[in-house]
Every structure is written in C-alpha cells, then in structure tokens.
Amino acid sequence: MAAQIQTIRAMRIPGTDIHHAPAVKAGPWVFLNGIEALDYASGLHPDVVGKPGMPHHGLPRNRREGDFICARFKELLAAAGTDFANTVRLDQYYPTWKAVDPYHLARHAAFGSYIPPSTSVIMPSLLASGADITASVLAVMPGSGLEPKRVPTPTVTSPVWSGFVPAVRAGDFVFVAGQMARGADGNPDPRAHVAAHSRWGGYEIRRQTEYLIQQKFVPALQAAGSSLANAVKAQIYLRHVEDTAHCLDVWNAHFGTRQCALSVVPTADFGLVPGNIEINLVALTDAGKTSKQVIDEGIAAEMSFGAAAVRAGDLLFCSGLMALDAGGPIAAIAKGAGLPHFGAAARGQMEYIVRALETLCRAGGTSLDNVVRIHQFHTDLAQFYPMHRAWQEALGGAPVPFTAVQVPAPLPVPACSVIVDPWVYAPN
C-alpha cells in the first residue's frame, strides 16, 4: 500500500543520512514532529545563541528559543494550509524547568487567546546539545469539520501561567490536556495525596492516579459528551518507574484491561513539585459516528501495557511498544550487550518494534508508509542513530516523523532501552 500522506519541508540533516519529516499532512490532520530551535548544521540556531560574548543582551535565551520554535510552528502550519486556531494538541519536553516559563511567554505571544490542550514534562536530555525545548503539535485543516471547540470544564482547569485549554472537541474526537494532581488554584489537592505523617492509609501513586481519573478525566469527558469507555489513547508519565504496577491496577479498574492504547513513560520531573504522575488522553464522543476498534492480537501482549493499538476513524493509535516477546526481552538485546558501540542491540530492538507495527498496521487497515508521528523515549540517545537506520530502511528512505528524547533509566522493562509511541494515518 502506497503512502497516503504528504510530508512538508522534509530535510536531510546536513552531513548525515538522517531524513526528518518535521510536518506531515494526512487527510484532515497535520502533525508537527520534534520541532527544535536548530539550524541543523551546527546545533542551536544563531538567533537563539545570541551575540558572541554578550550572553545577557536581548531577550532571555530560552525566550528566544521559544520564539524560534513558535515561528517554526507558524511556518509549517501555514505550509500545510492551517494555523494556530486549528491546533488541538501540544506536547513539550524540556531538560530543565527553567525553560518552561520563557517558552510559555513565547507561546502566549504566538498563539494568542487560544492554546490547545498541552502536556509538558522534564526529561534528562534532547537530541541537540544545548537545546532546552522540543515540541510536537497536532492540528486540523480548516473546513474539515474537525475545527476545535472548547469544552466547558469548570472543575478541570489549567494553571494560569500555562493558559492552555483543558479539553477540546474536534469532530468526534476529544483531546484532554496533561492532568496532574493539582486543584483549581494550582496547588496540590489534598484529595490526591496520602495524609501528612501517615505511613499507610493509602499509597501515593494510587491516590494520585485515582484522583486524575475521578476528578479530572470523568468530568472533562462528560462535559465533552464522552466517557472512559471511549478512551482511545493515553500517555502516562511516571516519576517512579516502580509505581507502574500500582498505577496500572487503578487505571484498569476504571478503563478496563487493555481497552485503550497506553504508553507508560519514565519522567524526570513535573511542573507540580509533589506530583508523581501526569496523564493526557484522547477519546471519542459517545454519540458520534466514529467508532472505536481495539486491536490487541498479532504481536506479543508483553510489548505494551495497553491494547496494542486502537483504530478510531482515520487514525491508528498504538501503545508504547518495547522489544519483548512472550518470554521477555528479545534475544538480540542480550546478544548485543557485549558490543554496545556496534549498535546491534539498539538496532535489533527497533527492527523488532517496526515489524510489530507493520503487523498492527495491517490489522488496522493501513500500512507503515502512513506513519505520521513517532515519539521515541530512549534511555541512551547514543542509540538514536542505529535505531533511526531501522526506520529509514523500513520506510524505503522516506523522511521519518520522529521526536526523540532521553528518559530516566530504567524503563518498565529494565533490559529494554527504548519505548516507541507511534500514530498512523488509516484512511477509510
């Protein structure tokens, strides 16, 4: 099956064979992937670096970085035929919390009064040395019937300093921003935490997870005409990877076991100091014409914590995938461990994941050629290149819509070194 997507402003990174797809148009959807303030020849763009020898002249460096990224958003969205008013989701990763507020100022200046549902988390490192922000955007085409409509959520708010809309509807789709255990005033909500000075009487991650589901997602989805049963994709960011089983126990009690595509990602830090978890969500409206199809066979169940994939309309959402078979981590990981700088273990993992994704694409009525968004969560970014080669070969040299960040080690399966979170266009 030939690709049914259009790559916009594809680039080969100078001096490499890395072929990046910063923007992909797929039917009514536009995906911006891994947007950073780089010149791709030497690193940070000179406009961000500032005047040589005068680091404190002009705007703060992270504000310049944010302005550059937002200008890049605007350019790519315009090239695709859309704009800020038609954005429905933002994902941002930073290696330092100090970059967040300057970026928010840039974002407010660029987006104006409407900022779509957003998720921001702190990760150890990005691909480019010195870069403090990488961001991805999902937008829709004007006139598509998917134009975003704010969902009134009086009990589900966003911090005033962020200013994003907590939830929007786009046709039959509902996009809910990353939620944390904070009240409407921006402070920790006591209902989400074990009582001070208590050894027991609750377990912190269970309390926070329960709070997010009951106090954030249930009312937000109800306000949008949706429900937990129609959740199709979620990302769970965890401060402590050892909390995974507790978190999933609570999650499955509400959403059902393996009924939603789900990624569980170790995270270095959050905007809420005592927060141990942040979750974002995509769902379908209950009364809409778009149906939810759970795809959970054909690959090893151990590869993911949620349904292997969920098809919703013309999008195939996959769970975060790790290189596991029924017996645990694939043999290529152990075989390549003695030669870490040759990249065999890294490449073996990605080749295995790509083959699994090909299987899921066939089951979902689409093909790997239609992949539109690949978020890669690495414990070691030195493995990015051998892993990228697996994508380049699988896609026949076509540009790859990647975002790659380093996450804290270990992953939920310690022998694995990457989680891949892919979305695929699946036209009817």
Instruction: Provide the residue-wise pLDDT of the chain in tens; the chain has 428 residues.
Output: 667 999 999 999 999 999 999 999 999 999 999 999 999 988 999 999 999 999 899 999 999 999 999 999 999 999 999 999 999 999 999 999 999 999 999 999 999 999 999 999 999 999 999 999 999 999 999 999 999 999 999 989 998 889 999 999 999 999 999 999 998 888 899 999 998 889 888 899 999 999 999 999 999 999 999 999 999 999 999 999 999 999 999 999 999 999 999 999 999 999 999 999 999 999 999 999 999 999 999 999 999 999 999 999 999 999 999 999 999 999 999 999 999 899 999 999 999 999 999 999 999 999 999 999 999 999 999 999 999 999 999 999 999 999 999 999 999 999 999 999 999 999 98
Identity (one letter) of the amino acid at 156?
A: V
Is 347 in contact with 354 (CB distance < 8 Å)? Answer: no
Is 59 in contact with 103 (CB distance < 8 Å)? Answer: no
For residues 175 and 51, state if they share a domain. Answer: no
| Beta strand extents in 149-246 (DSSP E only) | 149-150, 167-170, 173-179, 226-238
Q: Which residues pair with 149 in a beta bridge?
A: 169
If 0-12 CB within 10 Å is exposed, 13-18 middle and 19+ buried, where does residue 165 land? Answer: buried
Which one of 144, 172, 200 terminates a domain? 144
What's residue 268's pLDDT?
A: 98
For residues 105 and 194, state if they share a domain. Answer: no
**How many domains, the chain?**
2
For residues 52 and 101, state if they share a domain. Answer: yes
Residue 11 belongs to some domain of the structure: no
Which secondary structure element, helix H or strand E, spans residue 87, and what is its range? strand 87-94
Per the document, the length of the chain is 428
Is 293 in contact with 394 (CB distance < 8 Å)? Answer: no
For residues 43 and 136, state if they share a domain. Answer: yes
Residue 301 belongs to some domain of the structure: no
Which one of 94, 124, 144 terminates a domain? 144
For residues 102 and 133, state if they share a domain. Answer: yes
Residue 310 belongs to some domain of the structure: no
Determine the Cα–Cα distance for residues 232 and 283; give it in Å rounded to an integer: 5
> Which residues 6+ apart lie within 8 Å of 327 measured at CB?
none
Residue 200 belongs to some domain of the structure: yes
pTM recorded for the entire structure: 0.97
For residues 259 and 138, state if they share a domain. Answer: no
Residue 203 belongs to some domain of the structure: yes
Residue 392 belongs to some domain of the structure: no
Residue 337 belongs to some domain of the structure: no
Instruction: Residue 402: name the closest of 151, 35, 13, 3 by CA.
Output: 35
What's residue 68's pLDDT?
A: 98
What's residue 1's pLDDT?
A: 61
For residues 130 and 166, state if they share a domain. Answer: no
For residues 106 and 157, state if they share a domain. Answer: no
For residues 122 and 153, state if they share a domain. Answer: no
Residue 4 belongs to some domain of the structure: no
For residues 76 and 183, state if they share a domain. Answer: no
Q: Which residues pair with 119 in a beta bridge?
A: 91
For residues 161 and 236, state if they share a domain. Answer: yes
> Which residues 6+ apart lie within 8 Å of 345 measured at CB?
332, 333, 334, 335, 336, 337, 417
Determine the Cα–Cα distance for residues 231 and 285; give it in Å rounded to an integer: 9
| Beta strand extents in 289-417 (DSSP E only) | 292-295, 309-312, 315-318, 324-325, 328-329, 371-378, 402-406
Give the Å distances, CA to CA, from 242 to 160, 188, 205, 211, 276: 32, 22, 10, 19, 11
Instruction: Residue 179: name the closest of 111, 263, 281 by CA.
Output: 281
Task: Please report, for the domain that includes residue 67, its CATH number.
Answer: 3.30.1330.40
Which one of 271, 290, 309 terminates a domain? 290
For residues 245 and 282, state if they share a domain. Answer: yes
Structural domain harbouring 222: 148-290
